[in-house]
Amino acid sequence: MKTTRRQFIKVSTMGAGSLAVGASIGKWTRASGLLGELTAGTSTPTRTPTYCEVCFWQCAGWVYKDEKGEIQKIVGNDDDPHCNGRFCPRGTGGVGQYTDGDRLKTPMIRTKVDGVDSFREVDWDEALDYIASKLKDISSRYGPECVALFTHGSGGAHFGHMLKAFGSQAVTAPSFAQCRGPREVGFLTTFGDIIYSPERTDIRDTRCLVLIGSHLGENMHNGQVQEMSDAIDKGASIITVDPRFSTVAGKSKFWLPIKPGTDMALLLAWMNVLIENGWYDKDYITRYAHGFDQLKEHVKKYTPEWAFGITTLAPDLIRKTAKEMFNASPAVIIHPGRHVTWYGDDTQRLRAVAILNALLGSWGRRGGFYQPEKAKVPDFPVPPFPTPKHQPTEAYKGKYNLANEVVSNGICDATIPTPDQNCSYKVWFVNGTNLLAALPDQEQTIKALEALELLVVIDTMPVEITGYADVILPECTYLERYDMLRKSGHREPNIAIRVPAAQPKYNTKPADWIAKNLAEKLGLGAWFPWKNMEELLDWQLNQVGSSLEEMKRIGVKKFPRQHDDLYFAPGEDIAFNTNTGKIELYSTDMEAEGFDPLPVYTAHEEPAEGFYRLIYGRAPMHTFSRTANNPNLTDLMDENTLWVNPKVAKLWDLKAGQYVKLKNQDGKVSTFSIKVRVTERIRWDSVYMVHGFGHNNKKLSRAHGRGINDTELVTNVKIDPVMGGTGMRGNFVTFITDFETTGKEAES
Amino acid sequence: MREELIISGRMNRLVDPVLNIWHWHIPLYLFLGGLAAGILFFAALVTIQGKADKYPTAAKLAPFLTPFLLALGLLALFLDLNHKLFFWRLYTTIRLESPMSWGAWTLMVVMPLSLIWCALNIREIFPRWDWKYPILFKTEAFFKNNLLTISWIMLVFSLILGVYTGILFSAFNARPLWNTSILGPLFLTSGLSTGAAAIVLMSKQQTERNYFARIDLMLIGIEIFLIIHMFMGFLASTQVHIEAAQLFLGGPYTTVFWMFVFSFGLVVPAILEILELRGFHMPHWLAPSLVLFGGIMLRFIMAYAGQASRWLY
Amino acid sequence: MRYAMAVDTKKCVGCSDCVVACQTENKVPIGYCRDWIVEVTDGTYPQLEIEIRSERCNHCDNSPCVRCCPTGASHYADGGVVLVTHEACIGCGACIASCPYDARYPHPDGYVDKCTFCLENRVQKGLNPACVSVCPTKCLYFGDLDDPNSPVSLVLKKRKWKTLIPEAGTDPQLYFLV
């Protein structure tokens, strides 16, 4: 039953019976939708506050409707520190999430029709009943702890709440172990605090911004990009370390075209130069740091000359850039980056980044890293959650002790039954994350999916993961619903509200409604005592001296800081949240866990002849794979291209605009093909593509078959032993020019 | 290496990746306009010279084509418009700087002239034609009495029409290939040449055929001179003009231009006409047909190649 | 009054926000755009330079499109902004062929469309054009060149700039800070 049950379903519905059901539901939906639009057109105010859900930055803005009552545009809220009144292209194009005709429209349950898996359209009641009865049955056999939630975005709060009420704490997001985990752990072990999101980088006032493989401007992390632009205006210098001539490399005073995989050598050499020349903040180090002498001794051998042989960067350039940083210090930021799961020693590399920042005294200083503060908003009172028999961390017991969030791939691995595994997950809820594009090593992910007894996917779009679901629940978009208050930390504590600008289209429902109704069917209504989101939000807002009515009017509310600690005061005594209470250049945590207490250089795999390192990144107009079908954003970019150095193109006789397939070191061939871009902007030992394309679900009419999904070529995953991060940059590809056409190339 | 990309996915229909706003309509319109201009010019010319009876095809028969040619041309122009319902807007204003406006108004003058000209000659071609109403007879008599004036007006306006067909293109400095003042005289000459060729084709008299063949030969000579002059001008001009000329000198339009326009449309008919004038027996429809073919090709190739030529920045 | 825009190529990251913002503000149909981003890379790895430009209609002082329009649909409006009156446009395409910047396109509704500097829907209401007000890098400056204190006048005084193909004789009013 299991293997065929998880067969990927490519067609939406099959069989006459299901079609008939679908048609009648569709008709009913349209009628109610129309009614909704009519009432919306007459009674809604001109603008509705929201915060964006196209990426994790969650900028607050206003949704405007046109004279016909249709959502026309979304613009930033001037009071929002995340966006300062300016949305990024994805946020501006967020209206396309709402208008996309390919959206999931009605709940569906997997059924077998004549031996073939297909989806049957059902109503919400049936879908939720089905899930509830399955959950009760499975948890009676394995306990409620066997249910896990993978989430990315605002839905997580609602489903996480439901899961905790049910008795499981297994809530995880690929944003930790597939993305920023190493930096949080690297900084946590050094400074006793993490970077948070939005990043606490004080780019606005920095005088020198150092980016290690981070491509600000291509990753459109709105506030950071805005502040970088301000910094450029104020004459700050930018140092970019990247094998690719990224957009920001083009705006940098120094671009260091480093050999990929050797960043650690550069970081160590920088430490060497700073310490040997006395170019560090002596007072700061004496006052706050632990282990300077060990560090000094440790980096003695890592001279720029030594690094030259590894990184191919001239020693003089390494010295010059170190001096540049020192001159700017403490208003200098060695940026921790965001997606930093590269080579498996990533926490150590981010430790090196943290140490450099410590040497330059930028942590806690203006132009370096500030101390963010969050608005404190009480939660609606609910009964205490049941205590699970075991915690999700037991899925990877004895490993990743330093991880400060749940490791998603740990849960994924623990779902696959093995002889020594006693903590298998049987049910997954997946909300707002296309795990097949987010988790590396697709084969492993699919194995886990096959082992599940129930997979519930809650999404707005028919992304690949929906094809593996037992139940698909169509969520409405962020423009059609309330969500929990946004209360991320910033220079000024603030909250932002999301209010529906339109009725949910089709037969979709908001995440809060789904979570509450499912919980009620599970007998967990006590944990959802509010009538609806309006009541919940109004109660919360009343506690902080505001109201739903006020927030609907202003969208964003700022609060004064409770503590005057944005930066360290001169000579202030600081107790850091580490074992020693100091900034740990020498990490006692790492030492205790058996890892190198000071970062060391490890050589990483290099491409075999005829292979090129696969580097992937972001484009400013897309968020991962979730926007690949957005009509407004595909209009800007509807496929990714493969950046190839002209020398390589010549060698392989590749022409610009030609389509090629890729094969990786393990013989894995890409499903689709990709258009070649011959450009000097990429090193000759690497190729580059934007992540998030190559969708393989025909229901995504604008995204299907456009470009390559880099994730399917990431089969060699280097696990970071410190926190379980999945290093994905150790994959190498070669070109296949002779293939049958399936993707975008078929059109040209 | 220089890499220039539009990275925001711009793909405006009929503009990207290469300008393609004008298709067959405009070159056909220009060809028909030029042909009509040529025929009317010669009709007026021989009438002014008092040789209308000597060259009856030119003076009387051939002009009967022109209302149809012009109507067909206007139809092509109309079909080219994207906002057809607003066609009448052309005639609510006169914009001297706009060749398109100029052309619209010129046609507004030439079209009635060509109809008057036909009316004046209709009873000679169709002897049983009856105007029926006295007022029409009177009108005919009025025009007949002022034939010379009308001829002069038509002579001038046919020249304007002929030049206009070239200026429509040459006024666009955005398209370097079109942006040469030679294009006016070149298209005029080509129009006159196709007009002469049409007369040759229609004429049943050897003397008339020879007379217009001689004229055509001279016009072909001028055309060849103008084409060479045009390329010399391009090659001695700025980079964008040099690159525009390269479209025909090694670029994608090389073969079609030198084969269809220059060889089959100009040189071959010229040789044929010389041979015929020297007494060699030729099928007399061949040379003028080639001239007409060359005329139509010239306009099509210039229209498409011109849209492919652009400024670089 | 002379409206103009300046684009700081040193700050522009080519995110294309200006393009989407224009599309939603002005209801430009999907598949079309009034502004766009050009990226020019020069050199050989690793000696490279890049210039990113947010481009749109140059609202030329000597506009070939206005000159060649047979009906007067293309005209100079307030502050030299070049506009197209939809009801006067016959869609002949002459202006499209006449623009050396390819800034115009035939709207599916028949008339020719292009950047308006958001003159009527925003600028005359005291707002910046949609692209300027959305730009996350604040690399777009808009204002009246006749006002020495307008953002565009100030930045043009302070910085080196160029225009695109001035040799085409169009006298463009879109300035690129270099």
- Answer yes or no: is B10 within a domain: no
How would you list the strands of the sheet with A171-172, edge to edge?
A116-121, A108-113, A471-474, A454-459, A427-431, A147-151, A171-172
**Residue position matching structure tokens 């132009």:** A367
- CATH code for the domain in which residue C116 is found: 3.30.70.20
CA B238 centroid distance within chain: 28
Minimal C-alpha gap between B189 and chain A (Å): 42
- Is C37's CB within 8 Å of B8's CB? yes
Count the domains in chain C: 1
What is the rounded average pLDDT for all residues in chain A? Answer: 92
Tell me the HSE value of A69 on the side-chain side, using a 13 A CA sphere: 13
CA C153 centroid distance within chain: 16
Element (H, E) at A333: strand A332-335
C125 touches chain A (CB under 8 A): no
Domains of chain A in sequence order: 1-13+103-173+405-475+510-529 (3.40.50.740), 44-99+479-502+531-564 (3.30.2070.10), 183-369 (3.40.228.10), 612-746 (2.40.40.20)
Helices marked H in A192-303 — which ranges?
222-233, 263-276, 282-288, 292-299
| Interface test with chain B among C92, C114, C163, by most B beta carbons within 10 Å | C92
What pLDDT is stored for residue A139 in this prediction? 94
Q: What 8-state DSSP symbol labels residue A475? A: B
What is the rounded average pLDDT for all residues in chain B? Answer: 94
Interface partners of chain C (CB pairs < 8 Å, 3 or more) are A, B
| Interface test with chain B among A635, A693, A748, by most B beta carbons within 10 Å | A635
Residues of C in contact with B87 (CB under 8 A): 90
pLDDT at A729 over 70: yes
Residues of C in contact with A637 (CB under 8 A): 16
pLDDT at A30 over 70: no
C167 touches chain A (CB under 8 A): no
- Is C37's CB within 8 Å of B13's CB? no
Classify residue B101 as left (phi > 0), alpha (psi -120 to 50) or beta.
alpha
Closest in A637, A638, A679 to B3, CB measured: A679
| Interface test with chain A among C8, C18, C22, C24, by most A beta carbons within 10 Å | C24
Minimal C-alpha gap between A238 and chain C (Å): 12
- Whole-number Cα distances in Å, A141 to A134, A145, A418, A453, C164: 11, 11, 18, 12, 72
- Is C72's CB within 8 Å of B307's CB? no
Per residue in A309-338, pLDDT (tens digit) is: 999 999 999 999 999 999 999 999 999 999
Closest in B15, B87, B238 to C90, CB measured: B87
- Answer yes or no: is B6 within a domain: no
pLDDT at A420 over 70: no
Indicate the pLDDT class of residue A7, thresholds 50, 70 and 90: low
Per residue in A646-657, pLDDT (tens digit) is: 999 999 999 999
Helices marked H in A396-510 — which ranges?
408-415, 435-438, 442-451
Closest in A635, A637, A680 to B3, CB measured: A680
What pLDDT is stored for residue A417 in this prediction? 81
**B255 Cβ contact partners less than 8 Å away, ≥ 6 residues apart:** none
Amino acid making up residue A473: L
What pLDDT is stored for residue A13 in this prediction? 42
ipTM rounded to 2 decimals: 0.96
Structure-token pair, residue A413? 């691995």
Element (H, E) at C49: strand C47-55
Indicate the pLDDT class of residue A422, thresholds 50, 70 and 90: low
- Is B93's CB within 8 Å of C71's CB? yes
Minimal C-alpha gap between C152 and chain A (Å): 15
What is d(CA A225, CA A88) in angstroms, rounded to the nearest whole number?
9
Give the gyration radius of chain C's Cα atoms.
Answer: 16
What pLDDT is stored for residue A14 in this prediction? 39
Q: At residue A240, what are phi and psi to the nearest 5 degrees?
A: -115, 125
What pLDDT is stored for residue A8 in this prediction? 57
- Residues A60 and A555: beta-carbon distance below 8 Å: yes
**A278 Cβ contact partners less than 8 Å away, ≥ 6 residues apart:** none
Closest in A636, A646, A680 to B8, CB measured: A636
What is d(CA B148, CA B143) in angstroms, rounded to the nearest whole number?
9
Q: At residue C7, what are phi and psi to the nearest 5 degrees?
A: -120, 120
- Residues A332 and A368: beta-carbon distance below 8 Å: yes
**A721 Cβ contact partners less than 8 Å away, ≥ 6 residues apart:** A344, A399, A400, A595
* Mean pLDDT of the region C23-44: 97
Minimal C-alpha gap between B242 and chain A (Å): 25
Chain pair A-C, CB pairs under 8 angstroms: 126
DSSP A397-429: TTS-TT-SS--HHHHHHHHS--TT------EEE
Closest in C16, C33, C52 to A89, CB measured: C16
What is d(CA C132, CA C134) in angstroms, rounded to the nearest whole number?
6
Among A713, A87, A179, A109, residue whose Cα is nearest residue A403: A179
What is the rounded average pLDDT for all residues in chain C? Answer: 97
The fraction of chain A above a pLDDT of 90, given in percent, is: 85
Tell me, letter by letter, the H, E, C secondary structure of A283-328: HHHHHHEECHHHHHHHHCCCCHHHHHHHHCCCHHHHHHHHHHHHHH
Interface partners of chain A (CB pairs < 8 Å, 3 or more) are B, C
| Interface test with chain A among B1, B2, B3, B10, by most A beta carbons within 10 Å | B3
Residues of B in contact with C42 (CB under 8 A): 1-2
Residue B72's domain comprises 25-308
What is d(CA B245, CA B257) in angstroms, rounded to the nearest whole number?
11
How would you list the strands of the sheet with A237-241, edge to edge?
A254-256, A237-241, A208-212, A332-335
Which residue of chain C is at minimal alpha-carbon distance from B86? C90
Closest in C17, C27, C52 to A89, CB measured: C17
| Interface test with chain C among B6, B7, B8, B78, by most C beta carbons within 10 Å | B8
What pLDDT is stored for residue A32 in this prediction? 40
What pLDDT is stored for residue B303 in this prediction? 97
Indicate the pLDDT class of residue A9, thresholds 50, 70 and 90: low
Measured CB to CB, residues of chain A less than 8 Å from chain B are 621, 635-638, 646, 678-681
**B248 Cβ contact partners less than 8 Å away, ≥ 6 residues apart:** B231, B254, B257, B258, B305
pLDDT tens digits for chain B (313 residues)? 899 999 999 999 999 999 999 999 999 999 999 999 999 999 999 999 999 999 999 999 999 999 999 999 999 999 999 999 999 999 999 999 999 999 999 999 999 999 999 999 998 888 888 888 999 989 989 999 999 999 999 999 999 999 999 999 999 989 999 999 999 999 999 999 999 999 999 999 999 999 999 999 999 999 999 999 999 999 999 999 999 999 999 999 999 999 999 999 999 999 999 998 898 888 889 999 999 999 999 999 999 999 999 987 6
Per residue in C110-168, pLDDT (tens digit) is: 999 999 999 999 999 999 999 999 999 999 999 999 999 999 999 999 999 999 999 99
pLDDT at A167 over 50: yes
How many helices (DSSP H) and strands (DSSP E) are in chain B? 12, 1
Give the gyration radius of chain A's Cα atoms.
Answer: 26
Closest in B13, B101, B172 to C105, CB measured: B13
- Is A679's CB within 8 Å of B9's CB? no
- CATH code for the domain in which residue B142 is found: 1.20.1630.10
Which residue of chain C is at minimal alpha-carbon distance from B105? C70
Indicate the pLDDT class of residue A748, thresholds 50, 70 and 90: low
- Is C64's CB within 8 Å of B173's CB? yes
Q: What 8-state DSSP symbol labels residue A527? A: G
Per residue in B33-79, pLDDT (tens digit) is: 999 999 999 999 999 999 999 999 999 999 999 999 999 999 999 99
- Residues A424 and A145: beta-carbon distance below 8 Å: no
What pLDDT is stored for residue B132 in this prediction? 87
What is d(CA C118, CA A75) in angstroms, rounded to the nearest whole number?
16
Is the bond preceding B63 in cis, omega lying within 30 degrees of 0? no
Residues of C in contact with A76 (CB under 8 A): 134
- Is A245's CB within 8 Å of C46's CB? yes
3-state helix, strand, coil in chain C (%, to 5): 25, 25, 50
Structure-token pair, residue A572? 């202030």
pLDDT at A28 over 60: no
C121 touches chain A (CB under 8 A): no
Indicate the pLDDT class of residue A1, thresholds 50, 70 and 90: very low
**Residue position matching structure tokens 């994207």:** B82
Count the domains in chain B: 1
Residue C74's domain comprises 3-177
